[in-house]
Amino acid sequence: MNNSIFDYIKSYFKKYFNKNYVIEHKALFFKGGVLIIFLIAATFIFIGKSDEDKTLEQVEKLSEEQMTEDDENWMEEYQTDDVYVDIGGEVINPMLLQLPSGSRIDDAIKAAGGLTDKADLSNVNRAQLLEDGQKILIPTLGDSASAEEAQKISDAQKDVKVNINTANDDELRTLDGVGPATAEKIINHREKNGRFKSIEDIMDVSGIGEKTFERLKDDICV
């Protein structure tokens, strides 16, 4: 029985797939070969794309809620690398500046385009280290306000607390430890969840843990 089946198959292939048959139907064989190659290539592409999609999905699943305490601490340390200061008065470009931690008033002056011809530096300590959230006011020559009075104005402006429910991006970035990314998260959080009911609620924002809150609590309000 087995031999008869084998003989039948052998005779079938011998009859229909001999040299003459292949030559006669070479176009059909060519199309079939192309189709097989196409199907194999499509299979590999599909498998590769599936793996890529799976990888992207895994990355997206690493959401803010999944950050470990170590990740949060790392973010807090990273966010303190820069300081934000507001420089005004007799500089070419009064502006909010982002400078590396350890920068000095002289660095802020240079970053603001330098001094105007009316600047009075007689009572300005250009070697003073910058503090995050600091307001720098360069006095004008002949101005009746002394450097001490200008410093009082700066200190008063610095003591004004930032309302985390109404502050814009620039105002939030004057806070110690709050960079552009964190400021955006604060704004997005309150737009999605409503107003903060207490200053402690800011710790609900991803990336703001107890360490950052300790630095912020005296400078924020609701």
The answer, yes or no, to whether residue 78 has pLDDT greater than 60, is no
Q: Rounded mean pLDDT of 139-146?
A: 72
The answer, yes or no, to whether residue 91 has pLDDT greater than 90, is yes
pLDDT of residue 17: 56
CA distance 82 to 202: 21
Beta bridge partners of 11: none
The answer, yes or no, to whether residue 80 has pLDDT greater than 60, is no
pLDDT of residue 59: 46
CA distance 169 to 88: 19
Q: Are residues 151 and 170 in the same domain?
A: no
Among 111, 144, 159, the domain-final residue is 159
Among 159, 178, 213, the domain-final residue is 159
CA distance 106 to 129: 9
Average pLDDT along the chain: 75
Among 159, 174, 199, the domain-final residue is 159
Q: Indicate whether 212 belongs to any domain.
A: yes
Q: In the chain, how many domains are there?
A: 3
Q: Where are the beta strands (DSSP E) in 90-165?
A: 95-100, 135-138, 162-163
Structural domain that includes position 93: 81-159
